[in-house]
Amino acid sequence: MDIQINQQLPFPMASLNLGQGETCMIAHGSMIYRTAGVELNAQLNAQGSGLGKLVKAVGRSITSGESMFITQVVCNAPGGLVAIAPNLPGQIVQLDVGAHQYRLNDRVFLAMDSTVNYQMQRQSVGRAFLGGTGGFFVMSTQGQGRVLVNAYGSVVELNLDNAQGFAIDNGHVVAWEQSLNYEIQLQSGLFGSIGTGEGVVNIFNGSGKVLIQTLNIESLARAIAPYVAARN
C-alpha cells in the first residue's frame, strides 16, 4: 500500500493506494471516496470472538465515546484507491511501527497497514476517570507497518530523554511510545487545578517520543458552551 498525505490543503486528507488483494484498516466514517473494486467491511472494534467481542466493543463505545466499529478496506481490483480524512481539522501524521510501538489516545486513529495489529489496553480506574480523552481504554499498537493518526490542530513531536515528571495536558496528548511510563493526575490537586485553569495532565517518565496537538477540543467545547442554546 502506498500512502500519500496531502498536507497542503487547509484540512488535510490521505490517499491510500492499494494493489489487488491488499487490505488495510481505517477509522469508522473516515472515507471520502473510493474507486470501483474497493470494498469496505465493518468489524467490531474489539478483540475476541462471538458475544464476548460484541460486549467489549459496546462497552468500549459507551466508556470512551468512540465507535464500536472499525472499517476493513479490501481491494479486489488493480489500482485501488480510497481517500480518507479525520473528523476534526488538523494534521495527519504517519507513525512507523515495529522497533517502536505506540499508545494512541481516543479519536486519533485514522488508518493502518494490515500488518499492524492493536490491542485495546484497559487503563486503571483512576486513569480512566481522570483522562478526559483517554477513557477506559487506549489503543496499543503491535506488529510492524504504518499507522496514521490525526490531530486537532498541528502536531509537535517531543523526544524525552530520561524524563522525570514531564507533564503534558491530557487534552493535547495524541500518542506516545510504549517505552514511556505514564500516570494521569490533576494538575496541582483539585483546588490548584481550578485556580490555574489547568486540569488533567499526563505525567511521563523515561525515554521515548510523545506527539502532542496544539489545539484542545475540550477547551473549544468549554469556550462555546455559553453560546449554545440549552436543549428543552
Cβ–Cβ < 8 Å for 76, 27: no
In a domain, 157, yes or no: yes
Tens digits of per-residue pLDDT, 214-230?
A: 998 888 887 888 888 76
Spatial distance between the Cα atoms of 117 and 119, rounded to a whole number of angstroms: 7
Find the CATH number of the domain harbouring 190: 3.60.160.10
What's the first-to-final CA gap in the chain, in angstroms? 49
Per-residue model confidence as pLDDT tens digits over 143-152:
999 999 999 9
Banded model confidence at residue 170, pLDDT cuts 50, 70, 90: confident
Rounded to whole angstroms, what are the CA distances from 103 to 37, 39, 140, 169?
33, 28, 4, 16
Is residue 103 one of the residues assigned to a domain?
Answer: yes
Residue 163 lies in a domain: yes
Predicted local distance difference test score (pLDDT) of residue 227: 84
What are the φ/ψ torsions at residue 142 (nearest 5 degrees)? Answer: -145, 165
pLDDT band at 36 (very low <50, low <70, confident <90, very high): very high
More confident residue, 220 or 129: 220
Say yes or no to pLDDT of 127 above 70: no
| Residue 64 forms part of a structural domain | yes
Q: Considering its fold, how many domains does the chain have in total? A: 1
What pTM value is reported for the model? 0.81
Residue 211 covered by a domain: yes
Under the phi-then-psi rule, with left for phi > 0, alpha for psi from -120 to 50, and beta for the rest, what region is 145?
left
Structural domain for 215, as ranges:
2-227
Decide if 31 is inside a domain: yes
Residues above pLDDT 70, as percent of the chain: 75
Any domain includes 129: yes
232 inside domain: no
In this structure, how many other beta carbons lie within 10 angstroms of the beta carbon of residue 28? 16
In this structure, what DSSP letter does residue 46 have? S
State the pLDDT at residue 219. Answer: 81
Please report the DSSP string for 172-223 in residue order. Answer: GEEEEETTSEEEEEETTHHHHHHHHS--EEEEEEEEEEEEEES--HHHHHHH
pLDDT of 140 > 80? The answer is yes
